[in-house]
Amino acid sequence: MTTMTKATSDMTFQDFKDEILDDFKTAMTSRECSLLGRREVLTGKAKFGIFGDGKEIPQLAWAKVFKNGDFRSGYYRDQTLMMSIGELSIQQFFAGLYGHTSIDADPMSAGRQMGGHFGTHSLDENGDWKNLIEQKNSSADISPTAGQMPRLLGLAQASKIYRNVEGIDTTKFSVKGNEIAWGTIGNASTSEGLFFETINAAGVLQVPMVISVWDDDYGISVHAKHQTTKENISEILKGFQRDKDNKGYEILKVKGWDYTALIETYQKAERIAREEHVPVIIHVTELTQPQGHSTSGSHERYKSKERLDWEKEYDCLSQMKLWIIDNNIATEEELDNIHKNIKKDVSNGKKAAWDAFLKPILEEKAEAIELITSVAQKSSNRVFITKVIDDLKNIQEPGRKDVLSACRKILRYLVGEDSTEKTALQNWIKSYFNEVQPKYSSHLYSESKWSTLHAKEVKPTYDDNAELVDARLIIRDNFDSIFGNYPDALIFGEDSGNIGDVNQGLEGLQEKYGELRVADVGIREATILGQGIGMAMRGLRPIAEIQYLDYILYALQIMSDDLATLQYRTQGKQKAPLIIRTRGHRLEGIWHSGSQLGGIINLIRGIHVLVPRNMTKAAGFYNTLLDCDEPALIIECLNGYRLKEKMPNNIGKFKTPLGVIETVKEGSDITLVSYGSTLRIIEQTAKELLEVGIDAEVIDVQSLLPFDLNHDIVKSVSKTNRLMVIDEDVPGGASAYILNEILNTQNGYQHLDSQPKTLTAKPHRPAYGTDGDYFSKPSSEDIFEAVYEVMHEASPSDFPRLR
Q: Which residues are catalytic?
A: 592
Segments of 358-399 assigned E as strands: none
Long-range contacts of the stretch 31-34 (C-beta < 8 A, 24+): 31/56, 31/317, 32/342, 32/343, 32/346, 33/79, 33/90, 33/93, 33/94, 33/346, 34/79, 34/290, 34/291
DSSP 71: E
Q: How far apart are CA 249 and CA 280, in angstroms?
A: 5
Q: How far apart are CA 557 and CA 603, in angstroms?
A: 9
Is residue 787 within 8 A of residue 672, CB to CB? The reply is: yes
Number of continuous H segments (helices) and E segments (strands) in the chain: 26, 22
Q: How far apart are CA 673 and CA 787, in angstroms?
A: 12
Q: How far apart are CA 710 and CA 728, in angstroms?
A: 25
Residue 4 phi/psi, 5-degree rounding, is: -60, 125
The SS3 of residue 758 is: strand
The helix (H) or strand (E) run that includes residue 637 is strand 632-637
Nearest to 710, CA basis, from 697, 721, 701, 720: 701
Beta strands 644-646; 468-470: pairing state: antiparallel
Residue 462 phi/psi, 5-degree rounding, is: -135, 145
Alpha-carbon separation of residue 515 from 205, 389, 645 (angstroms)? 12, 69, 30
- Number of C-alpha atoms within 13 angstroms, CB side, residue 480? 17
Residues 6+ apart with CB under 8 A from 451: 445, 628, 629, 630
Residues 6+ apart with CB under 8 A from 138: 71, 72, 73, 74, 82, 87, 118, 119, 120
Q: In what order do the strands lie in the sheet with 209-214?
A: 137-138, 71-73, 181-186, 209-214, 280-285, 250-255
Dihedral in degrees, nearest 10, Cα atoms 98, 102, 108, 113: 50
Is residue 29 within 8 A of residue 346, CB to CB? The reply is: yes
Is residue 202 within 8 A of residue 277, CB to CB? The reply is: no
- Number of C-alpha atoms within 13 angstroms, CB side, residue 238? 5
Residues 6+ apart with CB under 8 A from 94: 33, 37, 40, 349, 350, 353, 354
Residue type for 10, please?
D
Nearest to 407, CA basis, from 363, 362, 364, 459: 364
Q: How far apart are CA 82 and CA 321, in angstroms?
A: 21
Largest Cα–Cα distance in the chain?
A: 103
In this structure, how many other beta carbons lie within 10 angstroms of the beta carbon of residue 235?
A: 13
DSSP 458: B
Residues 193-220 as b or e (16 or more Cβ within 10 Å = b):
ebbebbbebbbebbbbbbbbbbbbbbbe
Beta strands 608-610; 703-705: pairing state: antiparallel
Residue type for 117, please?
H
DSSP secondary structure, 282-319, as one string: EEEES---TT-SSTT--GGGTS-HHHHHHHHHH-HHHH
